[in-house]
Amino acid sequence: MKNKIKNNESRRSFIKKSALLGVAATGSLTGFSAIASMTEEEKRKFMYELQKPENIIYSACLQCHNSCSIKGKVFDGKLGKIDGNPYSPQNMLPHLDYKSDIEFASDVDGKVCPKGQAGVQTLYDPYRVRKVLKRAGARGSNKWETVDFHQAIDELVNGGNLFGEGNVKGLKDIIVLRDPKVAKEMAADAKAFGKGKMTLEAFKAKHANNLDKLIDPNHPDLGPLNNKFVMMCGRIEHGRKEIGKRFAHGTMGSNNFFEHTTICEQSHHIAYKEVSNQWVVKDGKGKWTGGKTHLKPDILNSEFVIFFGTGAFEANFGKTSMAQKVTDGLVDRNLKLAVIDPRMSQTAAKAHWWVPIKPGTDAAFAWGMIRWIIENERFDKTALTNSNYAAAHETGETTISDATLLVKIENGKPTTFLRANEIGLGSSTDFVTMVDGKPTKLDIHGKKAIHGDLLTNTTIKGIEVKSSFQLVVDEAMSKTLGQWAGISGIKVNQITEIAKEFTSHGKKSAIDMYRGAVQHTNGYYNGVAIIYLNMLIGNTDWLGGMQVGGGHWHEDGSKHGIYNFKKANHPNKLTAFGPPITREKSRYEDYSLFRENGYPAKRNWYPHSGNIYQEILASGEDKYPYGIDFLFLHKGTPLLSAPGGNVAIDYVSDPKKLPIFIASDIVIGETSMFADYIIPDTTYMERWGTPHTTPDVAQKASKVRQPIVPSITEMVDINGEKMPINLEAAYIAIADKLGLSGFGENALDNGLPLTRPEDWYLKHVANIATEGKAKEATDEEMKIFESARRHFPKEYVNMDRFRKAVGGDESLFRKVVYILNRGGMFEDYAKSFAKAPYAEHQLKGFLKFFPENVAKTKNSITGVNYNGIGAYEVIKQMDGTPTGFETVKDDELIMSTFKEVFGGQSRTISNYWTQLSLDPENVLYINKVDADKRGLKNNDWVTLHSDSNPEGIVDLKNGTKIQVKSRVRVIQGVRPGVVTMSWHFGHWAYGSTDVVIDGETIKGDARRKDSACPNPIMAIDKSLNMCLTDPIGASASYFNTKVRIKRA
């Protein structure tokens, strides 16, 4: 800290001095009975209990995926209060310098949002599950018995007649491929077979002894039976994600480990990734690899920011760090904003332009802007004509684009980049650009600067070519501004004014996008079109433009760490192979199923996307490409949180279709209520993690989540180590029971154990310490560290065991403590300005208008190639059939959703401080025009209906049917024809209904049930039994449903 000396005074010394001066704060309250009755000792106690360093443990939130840095304040052994960690750039602007004294920091509270503040109520929710539950009735019957943890693990591993419904397979019958060497060889050969490079006969001959371990010996490329073990994770984040993959892939040998990303904002990530992946040449062969999945505006230095389908104050990634950058900017720096959103959000309320766009037409609006910018030549011509890095360097840019690169055109459609060898100019790894009309070989890393021509539309040696920029121009010009505006349902001047403003600040304009723009069937294209706008002004890596953010030190040890978990530390790891059940990151054409069936495939394959949440259960039910034997759901509730997720109730409630279903959950949730077993989990306040930070944060940040209080789940002894029952305990116990690698004694290199969570997580912190060159904690800090954990049972938090988990080295352990005492490691604030006018942390990459990889991919159902550029498309089914979404009948309204700032989808209903104090029930927001038309007034009850769910009902198949109904709230701030609703209500479990445990009825709390969740009425892709989905980015569609509302 560069603060004045008095700033460094600790709270205690401050009080002491005050006392010396005779003005001790509380002392002057004479005559105040409550205070006057206090003894000296009592008074000291209140200086101030919640703020003493020995009562503070820094950790990371998880009420939303931003994983803000939090300061947990412990009182009487319980978590008393949560505030923001002032060391973290996410939670204080500007944040404290990293070297600041922890006594000083203890007095400074950073900021957290209302959800973060309410975390205590997630932790101490009376409906938390503490012991393992096993169903004592049919699935979904809400009848349970508690069972011993080890008994449950034994039953899961060995199977048997577990429910009196006949024999059930155990994990031992599913995880059958257990030999790492065999798995590795089979994986390679299966891949070769899939691609037609090895015959089935040859494969069978070579692996004759192990064919019984395959899902289908005639389709070995589908992988081993192990793949029928599927891990489906909802809100999982770094730390737990990596240990989960270790378990699913390396220990269990299954290729099925999933996160929830497609119900969040995956198409936006895929758009960025495909636009920014890099052309890497190795051994004479080039390939597109890597790519950044996320960029954010550097709001702190921007002069104009457009929020496309998102904002800075309510949700996004994330509001707590973004909000003040915007508000400070508005007041102090004349920052201007535009918000593209059918709903008047809090951000729109502060914006200079609110564009209440028609849902699903984001790309049309972007193309309108692109057209205007091109016609008026307000793009950065210099940046765009930089054809290679040498040219970029010459003109002061860090990135290049493909604007001048030539793309081959066949039948009027762009196919691939023209390679130099195709016109006899050079190698197949070089591109071609026109320089003053002359075809020129282009090595993007070449030493000579090449500034190509932007517009090319010609034929070279019989090959029809256009420049990438020409493709963009053609698409932009394919419709008039009036037509683009018409599609978006807005006025032309909204396009032109915003386009003009956007191009009036040099590099200091930027566009942020999130859910709203991409959770559509055309989401990927919308995302790409929006990225084009940023590319047109070449704002990436410039302060005030788009930034990659500060990133983090590599906790996986892959760079200068001491324990490399990326490439090592898993002896006898199994090689998982075969397509994931969602067929993500897999090309249909690389599998034998394609050779046999061709197009259409039964369901789509997604080579560009991953973590396709809504496909997991739908594919399992469809048994395509294979079925699920064992579903392990963790911290997810797909039946509630996926659009139309309720269609899978049929599947999960039927043991004949889904043989074993277990859930790791903190409560009995909407989906875990259908499980056979629930393994209680620790909340984020009781466990470890190493979450990453939004690129909104310009400084490098490695956060550490650590237990603030002991878990309220039951303690369990696994081979002599005592720990709370949670996800990690389940991994350790299952691996142990099955005798598999990756957990237990000798699980890591050099014979090191992974017998409790700290063996994993503290080594990750050690990696941060090594790479980030952490300081050692002083003796005083070591004392505070231990004292702050005095409320933990010894077997839970033990300094010697921690030291051992780090590796035994005292110096390294002290560095780890230094980091833990600050909740992570954070770069100083001023660092982000060190390279002005450039961002400190840069992309320095190749951005493409023409993401070639996508253009080369075919939709596996239609067999038609995807569009190489981010064109505007209407809302379609997976098979390419338009849904007719764009034509709205008189009695129909378009359903949009959003999230109230205090509501976090499926997991905040227990937070009464927010739910009851701020808005006790969810409402359907409707424009007054639409309300008047229907004779609806504020607070009238309506039921919601759609073509996919005409009755507007959720059938739990346990005798309960729920009508989707809500009160209406009549407002002006929503586009007429659109209704919108936050979704964090409408629970049918999570403590909202009665459950019977060990014969005793636990009464549910009706306050959690009130009002609706809009997801059950959302549009279904009928032939796929799943919500409408973007075929490329795989985002689930939340905004492409037309609803009818009826007075209830």
Under the binding rule (CB under 8 A), the answer on residue 446 touching other proteins is no
Minimal distance, residue 408 CB to other proteins, in Å: 17
| ∠ CA 159-165-170, rounded to 5° | 10
| Binding of other proteins by 478 (CB under 8 A) | yes
Spacing of C-alpha 781 from chain mean position: 35
When binding is defined by CB under 8 A, the residue of 98, 317, 354, 367 that contacts other proteins is 354
Q: Which of 16, 43, 844, 934 binds other proteins (CB under 8 A)?
A: 43
C-alpha atoms less than 13 angstroms from C-alpha of 524 in its C-beta half-sphere: 24
Out of 281, 971, 1010, 1044, point to the residue binding other proteins (CB under 8 A): 971
Q: Which distant-in-sequence residues (6+ apart) come within 8 Å of 1030 by Cβ?
A: 267, 518, 520, 521, 522, 523, 524, 1037
Instruction: Provide the 10 A C-beta neighbour count for residue 280.
Output: 14
Q: What is the Cα–Cα distance from 937 to 365, expressed in whole angstroms? A: 33
User: Is there binding between residue 464 and other proteins (CB under 8 A)?
Assistant: no
For residues 447 and 459, the answer to whether their CB atoms sit within 8 Å is no
Pairing assessment for the beta strands 961-963 and 953-955 based on DSSP bridges: antiparallel
Q: How far apart are CA 755 and CA 655, in angstroms?
A: 33
Cβ nearer to other proteins, comparing 58 with 257: 58
Q: Minimum CB separation from other proteins for residue 398, in Å?
A: 12
| Binding segment (CB under 8 A) for other proteins, from list 172-180, 349-357, 738-746, 884-892 | 349-357
User: Of the listed pieces 172-180, 288-296, 525-533, 832-840, which binds other proteins according to CB under 8 A?
Assistant: 832-840
Q: Return all residues near 620 (Cβ < 8 A) that are at least 6 apart.
A: 230, 581, 627, 628, 631, 651, 658
Q: Single out the residue of 58, 743, 902, 1038 in contact with other proteins (rule: CB under 8 A).
A: 902
- How far apart are alpha carbons 574 and 576 in whole angstroms? 6
Total residues found in the chain within this entry: 1048
Interacting residues with other proteins between 593 and 652 (CB under 8 A): none
CB 358 → other proteins: shortest distance, Å?
13
DSSP 663-676: EEESS--TTGGG-S
Report in angstroms how near the CB of residue 53 gets to other proteins at its nearest: 14
Under rule CB under 8 A, how many of the chain's residues touch other proteins? 153
User: Interface with other proteins includes 196 (CB under 8 A)?
Assistant: no
From CA 402, how far away is CA 266, in angstroms rounded?
Answer: 24
State which of residues 72, 89, 110, 638 lies at the interface with other proteins (CB under 8 A).
Answer: 110
Among the candidate windows 34-42, 209-217, 549-557, 679-687, which touches other proteins by CB under 8 A?
A: 34-42
Which letter does DSSP use for residue 704 in this model? Answer: -
504 contributes a contact to other proteins by CB under 8 A = yes
502 makes contact with other proteins (CB under 8 A): no
339 part of the interface to other proteins, by CB under 8 A: no
- β 677-680/132-135 pair status: antiparallel
State the nearest-atom distance from the C-beta of 861 to other proteins, in Å.
31
CA 227 centroid distance within chain: 24
Is residue 385 a contact residue for other proteins (CB under 8 A)?
yes
> What letter would DSSP give residue 1007?
G
Taking the least distance from each CB to other proteins, the nearer of 712 and 732 is 712
Looking at beta carbons only, is 338 or 454 nearer to other proteins? 454
Number of Cβ within 10 Å of residue 411's Cβ equals: 6
Q: Which residues contact 28 (CB under 8 A, 6 or more apart)?
A: none
C-alpha Rg value of the chain to the nearest Å: 29
Q: State the DSSP code for 826.
A: E
Find the shortest distance in angstroms from Cβ 32 to other proteins: 6
Q: Which of 301, 1025 has the CB closer to other proteins?
A: 301
Structure letter (DSSP) for residue 218: T
Region binding other proteins by CB under 8 A among candidate stretches 29-37, 200-208, 219-227, 408-416: 29-37
Beta bridge partners of 926: 970, 979
Q: How far is the CB of 420 from other proteins (least distance, A)?
A: 21
Q: Which of 57, 61, 108, 1024 binds other proteins (CB under 8 A)?
A: 108
- DSSP assignment letter at 788: T
Q: Which is nearer to other proteins, 868 or 1033 (CB)?
A: 868
Using CB under 8 A as the binding rule, whether residue 739 contacts other proteins is answered as no
- Which of 158, 151, 176 minimizes the C-alpha distance to 740? 176
Q: How far apart are CA 614 and CA 1035, in angstroms?
A: 9
The yes or no reply on residue 15 touching other proteins (CB under 8 A) is yes
Q: Which stretch binds other proteins (CB under 8 A): 151-159, 376-384, 633-641, 804-812?
A: 376-384
Taken in order 286, 290, 293, 299, the sign of the CA dihedral is negative
**Contacts (CB under 8 A) with other proteins, residues 768-787:** none
Nearest by Cα to 125 from 667, 767, 860: 667
Q: Please report whether residue 985 would count as binding other proteins according to CB under 8 A.
A: no
Position 26 contacts other proteins (CB under 8 A): yes
**Is residue 972 at the binding interface for other proteins, with CB under 8 A as the rule?**
yes
Q: How far is CA 630 from the centre of its chain?
A: 24
320 binds other proteins (CB under 8 A): yes
DSSP 3-state of 100: coil
Check binding of 330 to other proteins (CB under 8 A). yes
Q: Tell me if 93 contacts other proteins by CB under 8 A.
A: yes
Residue 477 in contact with other proteins, rule: CB under 8 A: yes
Least separation in angstroms between CB 283 and other proteins: 34
* Of residues 799 and 918, the one with the C-beta less far from other proteins: 918
Among 48, 793, 938, 963, binds other proteins (CB under 8 A): 48
Q: What residues between 388 and 417 interact with other proteins by CB under 8 A?
A: 391, 394-396
- Preceding omega of 94 cis (within 30 degrees of 0): yes
Interacting stretch for other proteins, rule CB under 8 A, among 114-122, 515-523, 648-656, 1022-1030?
Answer: 114-122
CB-based burial label for 313 (10 Å; 0-12, 13-18, 19+): buried
**Nearest residue (CB) to other proteins, 168 versus 894:** 894
Interface pick for other proteins out of 976, 996, 1010, 1023 (rule CB under 8 A): 976
Q: Is 665 in the site for other proteins (CB under 8 A)?
A: no
Q: Residue 465 interacts with other proteins (CB under 8 A)?
A: no
| Other CB atoms within 10 Å distance of the CB of residue 462 | 6
Question: How many angstroms separate the CA atoms of 49 and 53, rounded?
Answer: 9
Candidate residues 836, 863, 933, 960; the one interacting with other proteins per rule CB under 8 A: 836
- One residue of 1005, 1010, 1023, 1044 binding other proteins per CB under 8 A: 1005
64, 113, 784, 1017: residue in contact with other proteins (rule CB under 8 A): 113
Q: Is 841 in the site for other proteins (CB under 8 A)?
A: no
Residue 537, both tokens: 């002004």
Long-range pairs of 928-936 with CB within 8 A, sequence gap ≥ 24: 928/970, 928/971, 928/972, 929/976, 930/893, 930/976, 930/977, 930/979, 931/968, 931/970, 934/1045, 934/1047, 935/1047, 936/968, 936/970, 936/1045, 936/1047
d(CA 823, CA 57): 8
Q: Is 204 in the site for other proteins (CB under 8 A)?
A: no
Identity of the residue, 599 or 829, whose beta carbon is nearer to other proteins in the bound complex: 829
Nearest approach, Cβ of residue 723 and other proteins (Å): 21
Site for other proteins in 509-538 (CB under 8 A): 537-538
Which amino acid makes up residue 594?
A: F
Q: Examine residue 356 and tell whether it contacts other proteins (CB under 8 A).
A: yes
Indicate whether 112 belongs to the interface with other proteins (CB under 8 A): yes
What DSSP assignment string belongs to 530-583? HHHHHHHTT-BTBTTSEE-------TTSTTT-SS-TTTSS-TT-----S--TT-
Tell me which residues in 921-960 interact with other proteins (CB under 8 A): 927-929
Q: Which stretch binds other proteins (CB under 8 A): 652-660, 719-727, 798-806, 912-920?
A: 912-920
